[in-house]
Amino acid sequence: MPAKDDPVVIKKYANRRLYNTGTSTYVTLEDLAEMVKRGEDFTVQDAKTGDDITHPVLTQIIFELENKDGQNMLPIPFLRQLIAFYGDQMQMIVPSFLEQSMTAFAKEQERFREQMKSALGKGPIDMMKMPAPLKALEEQTRRNMEMFQNAMRLFTPFPPAGSSTPPEPEKKETSPKSDDLQELKDQIAAMQRKIDSMG
Q: What is the pLDDT of residues 50-93, one digit of tens each?
A: 999 999 999 999 999 998 877 788 889 989 988 998 998 878 88
pLDDT per residue as tens digits for the range 84-136: 989 988 788 888 888 888 888 888 888 877 877 777 766 555 545 545 555 66
> Does residue 9 sit in helix, strand or coil?
strand
Q: Which residues, in sequence order, are bridge partners of residue 8?
A: 42
Q: Is residue 168 one of the residues assigned to a domain? A: no
22 and 95 co-located in one domain: no
Q: Is residue 163 one of the residues assigned to a domain? A: no
The total of structural domains in the chain comes to: 2
Higher pLDDT, 108 or 5: 108
How crowded is residue 142: how many other Cβ atoms within 10 Å of its Cβ?
Answer: 10
Q: Is residue 94 one of the residues assigned to a domain? A: yes
Contact 33, 65 (CB under 8 A): yes
134 and 190 co-located in one domain: yes
148 and 95 co-located in one domain: yes
Q: Is residue 169 one of the residues assigned to a domain? A: no
- Sign of torsion over alpha carbons 141, 146, 147, 151: positive
Using CA atoms in the order 111, 116, 121, 127, what is the torsion angle rounded to 10 degrees? 120
133 and 105 co-located in one domain: yes
95 and 139 co-located in one domain: yes
Domain with 27 in it: 8-66
**DSSP sequence for 169-192:** PPPP--S-HHHHHHHHHHHHHHHH
DSSP conformation class of 25: E
